[in-house]
Structure 1
Amino acid sequence: MTMVVSGRTDFCQAFFILKALCLIIMPFLANETFRQIFQSSVEAIIMVDRDGRILLANPVSERMFGYEKDMLRGLLVEDLLPESVRSRHVKYREGFTAHPEPRPMGMGRDLVARRNDGSTFPVAVSLSHTNIEGELLVMAFISDVSERKKQEEALRRSEEQLLVYASELEKKVQSRTEDLNATIHALEKEVIERKRAEEDAHKALDRERELNELKSKFVSIASHEFRTPLSTIMSSASLIKQYNERQEGEKVDKHVLRIKSSVNHLTGILNDFLSLGKLEEGKVEMVKENFVLNDFLHEVKEELTPTLKHGQSLMVNEIPSVVVNSDQRILRNILFNLISNASKYSEEEKSISVTCSIENMHINFLIRDEGIGIPEEDQKHMFDRFFRASNAGNIQGTGLGLNIVRRYVELLNGKISFSSTYGKGSVFKVVIPM
């Protein structure tokens, strides 16, 4: 049973439906039970007979119209209306009695009721009916809409207030709907929360496993990578003492170089671990500045040439004098790592080239080598932490270099990619915004 007040869906629709249901089942209820429901209702309810005589009125209606207890009983329903509309109302009432059906009263009109003291107030009325033992009884549900009328009048003067009022009504309707579906929503929420908690637990567990794997790999790689250079340093230091006593200078110089090389290798490993730690913790800050790109490339070449293997050459192209704005320190770390890798994974007498160009306000670096290349099945993992290609063999390395390079490139909002042919070499491309 749907009831509408003054042409609108009544905002107390849920209550009206419940009330109508009470009327339908009323004949089946004990008289005392019905009276308890009727008397305890929070809405104004009056029951009238076919002639408009008030048979029952609940306490709310008595308070609403300003009558003492039981004073409404026996009055005509027209007594609750202003005198100016009573005669018309009789016709409306007789029309309803002739064709009774649940409906709102006064469709399209503003209804006004009269209190016992003569004052009037706006109301909304919904009608329903039932037959008990052949007698037609009409039930009127009455709401005092004084406040609503005041709000509507104020809202007509202000579009902004109208929007606020509409929003409030929408919230009320939504609130009623949510109340009716509270049990379902509560269950759905509980399921979602449990699922989210399970997902969070799985993520935490996966993260814990990942950290444990990283710790294991770190211990394994660190112990292996540190052991070899430390052994070299120890043995070379002992041999230097012997060669020094024999005054064999050339052999002393040879082992001094071995010690320096091992120390540099250890320094590189420590730098990799420190860089990774800072990057993981977000402690690497960029310091951008203007510098001449050509001068920067020559400095990189001068610093790295002495570290190359015997007979290897490093070729850097000349470009027009261009001033760029970037972080030199981070850019140097990127090129140092890629060029060092090119040298490490190439044989002696091989060449390494660095080609730089400017395109569409981006700096492009191509680092090309003639080394051992990367097996195709390993290429998708080359930027993973601690990953080393299957053909790396006994070549020293931690598997962190390319991972660190990728993170540095991302800090500069750049991109890195590579192509490689197994046994023939690799080309790494770095693109950095100017």
Structure 2
Amino acid sequence: MENALPISFESNDAFREIFQSMSEGILMVDEAGKIITANAVAEHLFGYEKNEMNGMSLEALLPERYRGRHLSFRREFNAHPEPRRMGVGRDLTALRKDKREFPVEISLSYTHLKGKLYVMAFISDITQRKKSEDALRRSEEQLIVYAVELEKKVESRTQALNGMVEALEKEVQDRKRAEEDAHHALGKERELNELKSKFVSIASHEFRTPLSAILSSASLIQQYSERQDREKVHKHVQRIKTSVNHLTSILDDLLSLGRLEEGKIEVSRERIELAPFVQEVKEEISPVLKEQQQIQLLCQPTEQPIYSDPRILRHILFNLISNASKYSDAGKRIFIECQRYTDRVSFSVRDEGIGIPLDDQKHLFDRFFRASNAGQVQGTGLGLNIVKRYADLIGGSISFTSEAGTGSIFTLVIPDKYEENSVD
């Protein structure tokens, strides 16, 4: 059907030009609900060709479940016309030609011409705005979940850390009372006091930074949520996630050190399917890598299982991959290579990061040691010391090669006797 505007509109070129150039979709409807004309934006919104909407019933643009109710709304408006927005406090939905529904915002106006009422509906597609609102709501819900989880973790880890400090203090007291060589006892006491002092220093510094970041981000999220600034809300949710992960990493390192010091870690030897195990480690750690960092597996396919302690092996690989990520820029690759030999298996983790200065390499596995080029990268200096002690527990060895500015390769070698028995 050709455009059927009332004659006064048809003869007004200025009106037609304005009507077609509006950025909103516009429908002109008569008292019977018949579409007189639609501008190009409206035709595009609803998926119709030029002039194809002319003569259609307005209700045809609504999902069927709303059509009956809309008839009464239209009659009410015709009886008492006034400019207004539709659906205040409700979500409005329209129907495209292909039967897909989409959210809209509609305002109504009207005019009388030669005794007849004509209604103009101004229509905007708010799909993107609804998506942003939904994403913002999910971010707020996620923040609440993280806050609850963080509170539980901090409470649990605090209790465990208190137990560790008490154990360290008791060991100092026991060694003072023991009838041992005075020089040896004094040396051990100094070592334990140094450990306690370093622990308190690390806990004070490393915990304060992420907790301050969490508090700051939580306050900012409240402000940005009120302004519906989704991008900044997302940024600070990610900042809270990173801080929580860092806190968890610190606590895990400290608790692992405590269990190793107390000799409470039991070692088992279990059957491990090599390829699925390494793939599982990759999938578990990938979410905490820096942006666009990728892990590339270079493990030879094998059907023969290995036998070791999967819990300790997973902890070692997690620590090595985490270090490779921390000390590499965003977008860099991390390579994991597996090699089978007659009586042993090797795992190599290679990165393209900052590397380790030559003068620092001899101290790399010392407790609390951090390389001179670590800069602002967060860490306790315990990870590699724990890795070495775990490797010793399962009868393995850990070695590395590195060059400052180029990257590092850490290689773990563990025995494999193809049988389920206790570790020698």
The two structures have a TM-score, normalised by structure 1, of 0.53
Secondary structure of 2:264's counterpart equals coil
* Distance in 2 of aligned mates of 1:336 and 1:244: 35
Equivalent residue pairs, number: 238
1:376 corresponding residue in structure 2:
358
- 1:420 alignment partner AA: S
Equivalences for 1:35-434 in 2 at 5 Å?
A: 200-319=181-300, 320-434=302-416
- 1:250 alignment partner AA: E
Say whether the 8 Å CA contact 1:387–1:399 is kept in structure 2: yes
* Distance in 1 of aligned mates of 2:330 and 2:303: 33
* Distance in 2 of aligned mates of 1:325 and 1:307: 28
* Distance in 1 of aligned mates of 2:294 and 2:304: 25
Deviations 1:47-76 (A, max 9, x none): xxxxxxxxxxxxxxxxxxxxxxxxxxxxxx
* Distance in 2 of aligned mates of 1:276 and 1:299: 25
Deviation of the 1:291 alpha carbon: 2.1
CA RMSD of aligned residues (A): 1.5
- 1:296 alignment partner AA: F
* Distance in 2 of aligned mates of 1:370 and 1:228: 27
Deviations 1:344-363 (A, max 9, x none): 01112211101001112101
Say whether the 8 Å CA contact 1:419–1:426 is kept in structure 2: yes
1:76 corresponding residue in structure 2:
none
- 2:348 alignment partner AA: L
Deviation of the 1:198 alpha carbon: 11
1:137 corresponding residue in structure 2:
none
Deviation of the 1:250 alpha carbon: 2.3
* Distance in 2 of aligned mates of 1:216 and 1:376: 28
Deviation of the 1:322 alpha carbon: 2.6
* Distance in 2 of aligned mates of 1:198 and 1:240: 59
- 1:368 alignment partner AA: R
* Distance in 2 of aligned mates of 1:271 and 1:431: 24
Say whether the 8 Å CA contact 1:374–1:421 is kept in structure 2: yes
Deviation of the 1:274 alpha carbon: 0.3
Deviation of the 1:321 alpha carbon: 2.4
* Distance in 2 of aligned mates of 1:304 and 1:278: 23
2:133 corresponding residue in structure 1:
none
* Distance in 1 of aligned mates of 2:253 and 2:311: 15
Say whether the 8 Å CA contact 1:313–1:351 is kept in structure 2: yes
* Distance in 2 of aligned mates of 1:213 and 1:268: 22
- 2:255 alignment partner AA: L
Say whether the 8 Å CA contact 1:294–1:322 is kept in structure 2: no
Say whether the 8 Å CA contact 2:353–2:406 is kept in structure 1: yes
Secondary structure of 1:316's counterpart equals strand
Q: Higher Cα Rg: structure 1 or 2?
A: 1
2:117 corresponding residue in structure 1:
none
Deviation of the 1:249 alpha carbon: 2.1
* Distance in 1 of aligned mates of 2:226 and 2:207: 29
Say whether the 8 Å CA contact 2:281–2:318 is kept in structure 1: yes
Deviations 1:125-149 (A, max 9, x none): xxxxxxxxxxxxxxxxxxxxxxxxx
The farther-off stretch of 260-269 and 306-315 is 306-315
Deviations 1:96-142 (A, max 9, x none): xxxxxxxxxxxxxxxxxxxxxxxxxxxxxxxxxxxxxxxxxxxxxxx
* Distance in 1 of aligned mates of 2:356 and 2:382: 16
Secondary structure of 2:181's counterpart equals helix
Deviation of the 1:337 alpha carbon: 0.1
Deviation of the 1:215 alpha carbon: 1.4
**Cα 1:198–1:299 shift into 2, 3 Å:** closer
Deviations 1:303-343 (A, max 9, x none): 11121111211111242223111111100000000010011
- 2:296 alignment partner AA: M
* Distance in 2 of aligned mates of 1:250 and 1:350: 25
* Distance in 1 of aligned mates of 2:227 and 2:246: 29
Equivalences for 1:19-34 in 2 at 5 Å?
A: none
- 1:230 alignment partner AA: L
* Distance in 1 of aligned mates of 2:272 and 2:370: 35
* Distance in 1 of aligned mates of 2:179 and 2:276: 56
Say whether the 8 Å CA contact 1:243–1:252 is kept in structure 2: yes
* Distance in 1 of aligned mates of 2:226 and 2:304: 55
> After the TM superposition, which parts of structure 1 deviate over 6 Å for at least 4 consecutive aligned residues?
none
Say whether the 8 Å CA contact 2:299–2:336 is kept in structure 1: no
* Distance in 2 of aligned mates of 1:412 and 1:318: 21
